[in-house]
Amino acid sequence: MQFQSYTVNPQPIWNKIVTLFRQISTILATFVTGLMTYMFSNVEGVMCPSAKTKQARGGNTMIKLTHKLVVVTILVGLVLIMAPTAALAAIGDLLGTVSLPGGGDCSVGGTFDGTYYITPMATIAGGCKSSTLGIYRPPAGGNGSATLVSTKSVVDGGSNPVNISAITWDSSRSRLWGAYANKVWLIDTGDPTVNSNALATFAFNPNVGGYALIDGLAWDRNDDTLYHSPDIDLNVYQFSLGTGGNPPLGTLMNTVAPQNAAGTADGLVSGVAIGSDNTLYIGRDGAGEIRRINKTTGVFISQFTTTYGRVEDLTCDPVTYAPKEVILAKDAYNNFYEAFEVEGLTCPLPPPPNGYTIGGGTVFPVDKMGLLVPLAWMSIVAGIIVVLGSSLLAWTRSRVTQK
């Protein structure tokens, strides 16, 4: 590994401005929708002539028009509410840079469990692996300095230290998978807020060769398999975890050789993250590059982004920058990670029990489409009620005028 230094690129206040714009524009959209609904539902006085026969015809016309306005108003409301999210989507954009105080000067692994960012606290002197994990709380808004919540000493059943270089969170087991030197472990970190031991249970030996340092590890919830790659390897290796219809634990199921746009397998694999639609995100060591490839064949799909730091392990975060989802790219030497916007519905973590929040702070609960749940949908429901109510009123008045 060639040692390099990078300066953390602090994000300007633009990210906060964009978040504020999204909130304000969504609220204004719901207000406009409600106002338009109210105006449309009160035009019958203009449309109904004074003559009795024309009043009857006017009432029927009003009913038909109102029925059409039900559909038009709902569609306009949905477009207005969803427009801010769609307009600001920019896949590959850098949304934040987060420093990890005390994280070590050669930590290549990192993962996110839905609340905390976890990384081995490794050093160059220690060979970039460690038996100590740091558990960090990301800053509100996802830019700035994370807070070290606790440290965990990784040990086996005999209380012997277990070195780890790459980790990935498995939300189905609520455990970490960890790897180093031809060994894969399943790690129980216990209470993340308490300094304590983390019990590592040996899982299997990959036996794929390459460097002892592992810097690409990703659990795939789609088929409960593990993607594994040694430092600057030519390949990513998919292993069975022995569940469902998969072969026994530790069986090599596929070898993926990531290709560039020209169709050449050019290696340098460092970070690995699971994408949507049968894809992988691959970090390329020393190249500052993350690309998207076919998960089965390795065929190049797209260039995702370019990192500022030396890209190592990758992980997904659908929470900190919600409603946006991001890939977090760990820098090797300078204790930080970068967050890049990724396609929606990419990240495998389940939503928090109380809904997502914008920018990591408690603002409004929002759903995966970026809608402010109570405000947006209550506005549309209220609009429908008003329109249907005015339709009933117009029908009643037309019946009265016919008599």
Same domain for 140 and 244, yes or no, is yes
At residue 310, the pLDDT reads 87
What is the distance of C-alpha 228 from the center of its chain? 21
Range of the domain at 32: 14-89+368-402
At residue 213, the pLDDT reads 97
Same domain for 21 and 104, yes or no, is no
109 assigned to some structural domain: yes
300 assigned to some structural domain: yes
User: Using an 8 Å Cβ cutoff, are 327 and 313 in contact?
Assistant: no
**Pick from 15-19, 32-36, 75-79, 320-324: least confident:** 15-19
Q: 138 is written with which tokens?
A: 């990301």
- In sequence order, which residues have a C-beta less than 8 Å from that of residue 14 and are 6 or more positions away? none
In the chain, pLDDT over 70 holds for what percent of residues? Answer: 66
Same domain for 62 and 109, yes or no, is no
Same domain for 330 and 376, yes or no, is no
More confident residue, 34 or 352: 34
Give which of 91, 93, 77 is closest to 26, Cα–Cα.
77
Same domain for 324 and 395, yes or no, is no
9 assigned to some structural domain: no
**283/191 Cα distance (integer angstroms):** 31
132 assigned to some structural domain: yes
pLDDT band, very low/low/confident/very high, at 133 (cuts 50, 70, 90): very high
Give which of 316, 341, 330, 292 is closest to 89, Cα–Cα.
341
At residue 338, the pLDDT reads 97
Same domain for 100 and 85, yes or no, is no
DSSP state of 286: T
At residue 117, the pLDDT reads 98
DSSP state of 264: -
193 assigned to some structural domain: yes
Same domain for 205 and 293, yes or no, is yes
- Structural domains in the chain (count): 2
Q: Is 61 exposed, middle or buried (0-12, 13-18, 19+ CB in 10 A)?
A: middle
User: Using an 8 Å Cβ cutoff, are 335 and 103 in contact?
Assistant: yes
Positive or negative: CA dihedral 344, 345, 346, 349 = positive
Bridge partners of 168, per DSSP, are 177
Rg (CA), the chain: 27
Q: What is the CATH number of the domain that holds 207?
A: 2.120.10.30
Helix, strand, or coil here: 48?
coil
Same domain for 285 and 323, yes or no, is yes
Same domain for 307 and 381, yes or no, is no
At residue 85, the pLDDT reads 44
205 assigned to some structural domain: yes
| 345-371 per-position pLDDT tens digit | 888 655 444 443 334 443 334 343 344
Q: 142 is written with which tokens?
A: 């996802």
| 258-300 per-position pLDDT tens digit | 999 999 999 889 899 999 999 999 999 777 899 999 999 999 9
3 assigned to some structural domain: no
Bridge partners of 183, per DSSP, are 180
1 assigned to some structural domain: no
Cα–Cα distances in Å, from 294 out to 223, 275, 379? 16, 9, 42
Same domain for 170 and 233, yes or no, is yes
**Pick from 45-59, 114-128, 162-176, 254-268: least confident:** 45-59
Same domain for 31 and 78, yes or no, is yes
Same domain for 398 and 281, yes or no, is no
DSSP state of 177: E
